[in-house]
Amino acid sequence: MPPPAGLPRTTRLTSRAAVLAVVICAIALSLAYPVREYVAQRRQIDQLVAEQQMMQAQVKSLIATRDKYSDPVYITQIAEQELHMCLPSAQCYVVENGQSVIGAPKRVESVSAPWYAKLWESVQESDSTPPATPAAGSKATAHPSGGASGGPAATRSPAAGGGKASAGSGTR
């Protein structure tokens, strides 16, 4: 008997519908991975194209800079501006603190000598200075180390060998 006309028809899952649903799910699952890979590859291609365009712009900029620096007129202009170069055919003026320094005597800036030169100079200076001689009525007392009480400088006398030590440890 057919169902009454006024009641809604209930659908039942038939075996054909179940097979159709399984087939559709299998197709969808089999296409999901390739579609996902396709989208990822398209994204990577877009990134690489953008990077390539950026690099091409950078190469164009570097070529323009190279061409600019190979121009002798530009090099001369930069040398005059940045390095204050004065060409032989030009009269150049240098102004320091509001006053021209052309014709003014050059200030010699002292360059400090390295530490070892200063040390050697002080050693030579100490060797060349005459020692202080003891007073006429005093005598030098012996030091426990074998020298005079005034140290090595007290044992020197200008009359005894031109400033060399006449007594002492003899370590010179």
Over residues 85-138, the pLDDT tens digits come to 888 888 888 777 776 556 555 555 666 788 898 899 889 988 887 766 666 655
Q: Which of these, 136, 170, 138, lies nearest to 156 by C-alpha position?
A: 170
Q: Report pLDDT for 87.
A: 84
In a domain? residue 149: no
- Residue 40 in any domain: the answer is yes
Higher-pLDDT residue of 144 and 13 is 13
Query: Which residues on neighbouring strands pair with residue 99, listed in sequence order?
Result: 96
Q: Is residue 55 part of a domain?
A: yes
In the chain, what are the helix, strand and coil shares in percent, each to the nearest 5? 50, 5, 45
Number of domains in the chain: 1
In a domain, 45, yes or no: yes
Q: Does 38 map to a domain?
A: yes
Is 117 a member of any domain? no
- Please answer whether residues 134 and 154 qualify as being in contact, where contact means their C-beta atoms are separated by less than 8 angstroms: yes
Residue 44 confidence (pLDDT): 97
Radius of gyration for the alpha carbons in the chain, expressed in angstroms and rounded:
50
Q: Angle, nearest 10°, between helix axes 15-69 and 72-82?
A: 80
- What's the pLDDT at 114? 87
- pLDDT at residue 27, rounded to an integer: 94
For 48-95, how does the pLDDT look when each residue is reduced to its tens digit (9 = 90+)?
999 999 999 999 999 999 999 999 999 989 988 888 888 888 888 877
Query: Quick check: 148 and 141 in contact, CB under 8 A?
Result: yes
Tell me which of 7 and 36 has the higher pLDDT: 36
**Domain residue limits at 46:** 15-78
Helix H or strand E segment including 172: none
* 152 inside domain: no
Would you say residue 20 has pLDDT above 90? yes
Q: Does residue 142 register a pLDDT over 70?
A: no
Tell me what pLDDT residue 165 has. 47
Q: What is the pLDDT of residue 135?
A: 60
In a domain, 27, yes or no: yes
Task: Give me the pLDDT at residue 13, please.
Answer: 78
pLDDT at 154: 47
